[in-house]
Chain A
Amino acid sequence: MATTERPTTNHLKNMKSQSNHSRLSLLSAIFTAPALLWLAAGSAHAEKLAVEKDSLKLGFIKLTDCAPLVIAKEKGFFEDEGLQVEVIAQSNWKVLLDNVITGNLDGAHMLSGQPIAATIGIGTEAHIVTPYTLDLNGNAITVSNSIWEQMQQNEPDLDSDTPPHPISAAALKPIAEDLLADGEKLQMGMVFPVSTHNYEIRYWLAASGIHPGFYSKTDVAGRTDAEVELSVTPPPQMPATLEAGTISGYCVGEPWNQQAVTKGIGVPVVTNYEIWKNSPEKVFGVTRKWADENPNTIIAVTKALIRSGKWLDETDAAGKLVNREEACRILSQPNYVGADFEVIKNSMTGTFVFQKTDVLDMPDFNVFFKHDCSYPWYSDGVWFLTQMRRWGQITEAKPASWYAETVKKIYLPEVYRKAAASLISEGYMTEDELPKTDDSYKVTTADFIDGNAYDGHKPIEYINSFEIGIKDDAALSGE
């Protein structure tokens, strides 16, 4: 290979020196400059928002779903709004949230549960709001090779190069029971107590009758009655922790599941797309105070993010995602996600690799705009609240009205609507791309792995509908 590479580099150098003084470049300058001037003038005709703050620092965690923030910066969508934005990697969710609260960061890529938990006072208390949902889906549960082998023994159907999907936790149940009989518990990792991953892995386990444990006032680790113990591990350390055997499986976002496949240390068994089809994943969060002090800036940021989401989900006539490859290239830069291009590409371009032999088409594994993804739905917030109650993170029973009021304090559809209106008037968005909804609640859906229907208007009934989980007094539903 070395022999073929060398001429290439020489070739490259020669071409570079020739081109520096060529007439061609002068010509192209003459042609391109007016065209660019015209372009610039065109975009400047749109009504600029008078932003209160024009240089922002936004935090993110190295996961592929930070893409809307990164793309808005790299493709100049922030600049179009008159914003100079620094996008800064944070080492974990706690540090990120603390930095937003203390004002070191203006806003950040957050777990959907974070603004909710912070606002109602689970963990660090602070009023955080969100005008924009960054993406749907994008997580998966991976188990170690040895657990996968045991699962295959329990469920012979899985012992194939292309096992049937979705894989439920049923094959995992005997393993957990065997360990329990030995006085041990199966250890699994998730990324944060109020992360979507925590609720997803709990949902998946509980759907097959495995108890993942309750939280309580005294048990903040959430292990009361647990048959499988869940612990917090930062995403980038997941593969290493799995390899070391500290945990036998984990639920995490990309690229850390694909990383496990590439390195051959584990097998992804189920994606959150299969657990709950089109589940909301990350949001863009700022403090209430910041949102109040910068009413125009928050709209400007939302506008840039909407354009970014649209860019990421742009398809050609055949329905192929056209910009994803470029997005992967950008995300693989060391100051962004920094993982190998190939690894990021595995999950971002519409396929998901369960095993080297088992690659599934999943065009909706990462959704950034379609399916009305980016709109801040109240019903999404209510779902997270019901799960927090189901597992005891919300320690007291609350009436249904509390759920509706709480999400109204956190989700800001009015900001999204203003941003969308502005984009529509500028021609960057069409009227029908804005979700048609009166109350910002999604319609009832049963797209869950266990088929249990969810209606955001009826949180108490929903909480009580689960076999495993805390039950509330039906009278609280207020009907």
Chain B
Amino acid sequence: MSAKYTILKGIDIAGLNFLSPVVRLATGEEPAKQMKEIGRLIVIPTLAFLAFFWLWAVVAPKHRTKSGEVPTPSVVWDARAGIWRFHNYETAKQDGFLLQGKERETELARATARIAEVGMLEKIARQQLTAAREASTVKFDTTVAPAKNAYDTLREISRESRKGRTAALKAEAATLNTATEEARLAFLQKLRDTQARTEIDKLELAKLKDRYEEAQEITFPEVKDATRANTVLAEEKQFLVKYIDMLGKDSRELKLAAAKTKLKETRTSFLTATEGDLYRLGSGIIKNEKFIKTTASSKYAKPWTLPKQIVRSLLCVFAGFLLASAIAIPIGILCGLSATFMAAMTPFIALFKPVSPLVWLPIIMIIIGGFMPDPENNAFLMFFDKVPFIKNYKIDPMFLSSAVTVALCSLWATLVNTALGVGAVDKDHMNVARVLRLGFWSRLFKIVIPTALPLIFAGLRISLGVGWMVLVAAEILSTSEGIGKFVNDMYTNGSSESFAQMFVVVFIVGIIGMLLDRIMVVFQRLVSFDSAVPAG
């Protein structure tokens, strides 16, 4: 029985309350009530989510802009696969470059065999694409031709009749030199009428043109699918060509081997040569030695892929969050302890709290840039290059600027909540402390902070949420590698996939934000005294 309560307590602390009826049902506790709870906490949300997907899938294809179509769930799912494929290709290249000996040769053989296959498949896919294209052209012509013909004919007719009318009027005008005023006025009226007539013609023509253009907008999902299938294969082939290079002639092993052979040759000729430029040969040896040294430690310059960008974004948000906490908690405590200090801080809080990250970032970039005129040789940044794990994520001024922006935007919630929590410490507790003659520090750590902790954590939870929201914006603006940079890149790519890729990011950002929030909930519950398991 106690195991059950431990589980229930764990579920409660983790804030996963929807699981508790399942546990209770499993232990046979009030099945009817639990079923009802399951219906409310699990079935209903699932249904709502499914309804959302259904609505999305139905509505999305109906909404078309010229910049693209709103992707359906399945297109978004495909885009996710595309992002993942790109990541895998790049990782494979990175690993392939470092492979050695037998392993490299088997991998090379595998890739060579695969490229032949892909070549064949691509041929088939291309044939299908051509067929689909031809079919679509026929269909296009048959549907568009009537509209086009109608437009062309009317255009020709109206142009001819306009020409005829203009010619007639001009001829009449030529005779007017001797005519009476009345005749002249009548001519003016005629001119006016003719022009009105031309306007009407134009309107009709415009209508037909719209119809023609509408007809042209017909899309061909078959061609799109065939193109996509073709693209996937062509991309794989492109990857394999480069991959084979990385495993073959460009592999570190072969490059090193070649350089070593060369070094040996130069060495022998340097040592044995009786005539010739020994200076040149000697410096050739040194050059070769250097080359071998740099090659031995060289790596494939892998572009950033989304998984790595996500980790860097997380690092950035935590850096900002820690900085925010380090500033906000002490100041918040001081504010809570001293009404005077609070009064001094109020204008700053009121003034800076509403400032948008988009305003902070350029300012901070300039300030940080000023501290780091030569980022390549900056001691502070070079320190991070030695820290394991973090060194893979290239801490640069842009990263720091984004982190500081996150801190500046997110620290207010923690600050205000800490001040509130500290201010709410029971007067009796403070009196007892005074009676016991506790010093300032023991009063702080034994009474004030423990009492204020639940509120401090509530503040931290809000801060982390705000920070995560701010981060993407900061990364877009600073082009610091991360999720924001990914979104910006996809937006500027403007390919048919871009829209869908951004939707993928929406889900990724949402899921990560949710997880961060859950983690903070756990902490918050752990420090709260009122987190007893509900009776029953």
Contacts and interface: CB of A to CB of B under 8 A. Distances in A.
Contacts of A330: 238
B67 A76 contact: no
Contacts of B226: 1
Interface in B67-120: 67-68, 83, 86, 105-106, 108-110, 112-114, 117
A343 B231 CA distance: 13
Contacts of A103: 374-376
Contacts of B374: 103
Contacts of A16: 114, 117
A32 B109 contact: yes
Interface string B480-497: 000000001111111111
Contact of B489 (A4, A48, A338): A338
B67 A44 contact: no
A97 B214 CA distance: 44
Contacts of B299: 84
Interface string B184-202: 0000000000000000000
Contacts of A33: 105, 108, 248
A45 B245 CA distance: 19
A240 B499 CA distance: 14
Nearest to B238: A329
Contacts of A265: 66
Chain A contact surface mostly: helix
Contact of A341 (B229, B234, B245): B234
Chain B contact surface mostly: helix
A44 B373 CA distance: 38
A86 B303 CA distance: 7
A19 B113 contact: yes
A334 B108 CA distance: 26
A5 interface: yes
B431 interface: no
A5 B229 contact: yes
A29 B105 contact: yes
A317 interface: no
Nearest to A21: B110
B491 A74 contact: no
A339 B303 contact: no
B494 A5 contact: no
Interface string B125-154: 100100010000000000000000000000
For this complex, into which size category does the number of interface residues on chain B fall?
35 or more
A11 B498 CA distance: 29
A36 B249 contact: yes
Interface string A37-60: 101110111001010001100000
Contacts of A29: 105-106, 108-109, 112
B291 interface: yes
A54 B294 contact: yes
B287 A50 contact: yes
A218 interface: no
Q: Max chain A CB contacts within 10 Å: which of B113, B291, B294, B498?
A: B113
B231 A41 contact: no
B113 A338 contact: no
Given A55-B298, A104-B375, A338-B493, 4 more contacts: A48-B288, A62-B492, A90-B479, A95-B479
9 contacts: A12-B117, A33-B248, A36-B108, A44-B258, A82-B294, A84-B301, A264-B213, A332-B495, A334-B497
Interface of A: 1-2, 4-5, 8, 11-12, 15-16, 19-20, 22, 24-26, 28-29, 32-33, 36-37, 39-41, 43-45, 48, 50, 54-55, 62, 73-74, 76, 79, 82, 84-87, 89-91, 95, 102-104, 156, 159, 234, 236, 239-240, 243, 255, 259, 263-265, 326, 329-330, 332-335, 337-343, 356
Query: Which 7 pairs, one residue from A and one from B, show the smallest C-beta to C-beta distance?
Result: A338-B493, A29-B109, A236-B492, A44-B258, A25-B109, A1-B225, A335-B303
